[in-house]
Amino acid sequence: METRQRTGQQRSADRRRRELLEAADRVVLRDGPHASMNAIAAEAGITKPILYRHFGDKGGLYAALAQRHTDALLASLRAALDAPAERRRRVASTLDTYLAAIEARPQVYRFLMHPADSPQGEAGFDVGKHSAPLLRRMGEELAQVIEERLDLGPGSERLSRVWGHGIVGMMHAAGDWWLGERPCDRAELVEGLTDLLWGRLAAADDRTGGPGF
């Protein structure tokens, strides 16, 4: 009886947590990195102390939202990598999946990846301090996928991690620049990044006539 009661309480707590995260998502979609605990509490129809009771502080809420969105993004990236297509097309599809995700929800991306001054009355919150673990997790996940699917020979685990973190760093930096400036359409950016990963840099002629780039 006691076990059933605890299980029911846990389900209720989990459901309430999901509802609060959905309310937070709505505010983040509207306000981006300036989303405040006050606004999220108001959206959820509760007071800020109750919100703190569930997440501790804005850092705890950020971590929960980051987990939620990173899980969904990684699932999409894995699906793109596993699609029945030739390898270059899968690479392009994976890059496009990432860029499409940040393009579709730019305010969520900015909340997760960019620091912002907290709204008046809130303690300072350095989003940048929290975004590094998110990128590291993506790098480790991609490294695992690479190791599972490619035979890289001796030292494959280490090389897979080098490639995983390198590719995530490239996607993040290029996507951040593109989302801010929109210098080209998404398809052109995907094609350019795919060319880079596919060895076009090594094959390109050196304009200076010197030994290379």
- Can you spell out the DSSP letters for 70-118? HHHHHHHHHHHHHSSS-HHHHHHHHHHHHHHHHHH-HHHHHHHH---PP
CA distances 104 to 29, 49, 158, 166, Å, are 10, 32, 34, 24
pTM of the model as a whole? 0.81
CATH number at residue 121: 1.10.357.10
pLDDT of 204 over the 90 cut: no
Task: Give the per-residue pLDDT at 99.
Answer: 97
Whether 211 maps to a domain, the answer reads no
pLDDT digits (tens, 9 = 90+) for 136-163: 989 998 999 888 888 888 999 999 999 9
Whether 56 maps to a domain, the answer reads yes
Range of the domain at 58: 2-200
Whether 206 maps to a domain, the answer reads no
Number of domains composing the chain: 1
CA 27 to chain centre: 18
pLDDT digits (tens, 9 = 90+) for 174-192: 999 999 999 999 999 999 9
